[in-house]
Amino acid sequence: MSNFAPDRDDIVKTLKALTKIAAVTGFEDNLQDYLKSLVTPYASSMQQDQMGNLIASRKGIEGGLRIMLCAHMDEIGFVVRSIGPWGFLYLYPLGGIPENIGPGHWVTVHTDRGPVSGTIGIHSAHLPVSGIPPLFADIGAERRHQAMAMGVKTGDPVTVQYGFKQLNEERVIGRCMDNRIGCTILVTVLKLLAQTVHRTNIFAVFSSTEEHGMHPGNPPAQVHGARGAFVAAQSIKPHFAVVLDSMVASDIPGLSESEQLIRLGRGVTLRLLDDMAIMRPKVKKFARDVAEKNNIKIQESISRSFTDTSMVQLSGAAVCTLGVPLRYIHSPGQVAALSDIESAINMVTGIIQQLEAEPPDWLHNNTPGNLQSE
């Protein structure tokens, strides 16, 4: 499996399709349905839970190792907090939205009746405005009742209106690449596994609500998100887990050479440490050995904030966190290198192959639960 050559055209096709679907944290249903249709042919069984997780399982041998592969579906965005008397929509941010993202951006309000376009209002420099203005969207309504007649309700999710584009043979740009890249990797790995015979029991988790709890402006984490992954991991009780997320690429102007640690095109990153999780030394060595054995390019670094790993670890699993380098995370235009996505796919398949062939002795001591694949 580690010698599998990912189909780059298929990766781009999948990533483009996934970035078109809105999935603000806590509102992942449409993306979940699409992913279910995409991976059902490659799964032994499918499960959806009340947290919004989608779990695609592939059965191995009875009593075999349980491996959890996890990538969150959700994205940052807004919800409609209230509708003002003059038809303006006051917004509430969900997830770690940078402070400079919002005013002036076109947005889509996702209503039960369909999408409604608008823009986040901006106070022109020509106006005598002081202080911090409220966050509001203008959808063209003149009164509250007109906005409501358009189908808008309090609590409707709102996303920035940007798409996806392949910049050249190597790089792509799009909104919510964090973490549709991880979802694309899981889809690709499931396609590969369907062509092989494997003894381990594989649980591919497309998790919900990872971004919820991450504060706007990305200060150190105080409220913990990733609750979807927690529910899934407690059910699966994996022996080993691989969490797939993004990793901030720092190869941009404005940073000193000593801070430019993660670069596009240099391979997937081992996320060794963040605000909520530390990769255990044995797992770190195992991952490095897999990369070396399979000639996979990797980078290593630490990061602020958190991923699903911190919650998956609470199941008792050994967890390896892989981050695909991504420029401008949580912005409307996130840039990634396709070779790094391929590196991550090869890393996941290499880990599975190694766990199949020769699982480390210390993993046999990990008996977190008795749930078997169906």
The domain that holds 108 is classified in CATH as: 2.40.30.40
| Residue 228 structural domain | 8-75+163-364
- Are residues 119 and 266 located together in one domain of the fold? no
Q: Which region among 179-183, 249-253, 256-260, 266-270 has the lowest average model confidence (pLDDT)?
A: 256-260
In this prediction, residue 368 carries a pLDDT of 55
Q: Are residues 98 and 207 in the same domain?
A: no
| pTM of the full structure | 0.92
pLDDT of residue 365: 59
CB 96 within 8 A of CB 305: yes
Same domain, 256 and 310: yes
- Please count the other Cβ atoms lying within 10 Å of the Cβ belonging to residue 349: 23
For 303-331, give one letter per residue: b (16+ CB within 10 A) or e.
Answer: bebbbbbbbbbebebbbbbbbbbbbbbbb
Cβ atoms of 262 and 249 within 8 Å: the answer is: yes
Mean pLDDT value across residues 119-135: 79
- Name the residue among 326, 163, 342 with its Cα closest to residue 252: 326
**In this predicted structure, what is the pLDDT of residue 374?**
40
- For residue 319, tell me if it sits in a domain: yes
CATH number at residue 181: 3.40.630.10
Same domain, residue pair 268 and 186: yes
- Give the side-chain half-sphere CA count within 13 A for 307: 32
Give 144-162 pLDDT, tens digit per residue. 999 999 999 999 999 998 8
Q: Is residue 138 part of a domain?
A: yes
Q: How many domains does the chain have?
A: 2
- The answer to whether position 205 is within a domain reads yes
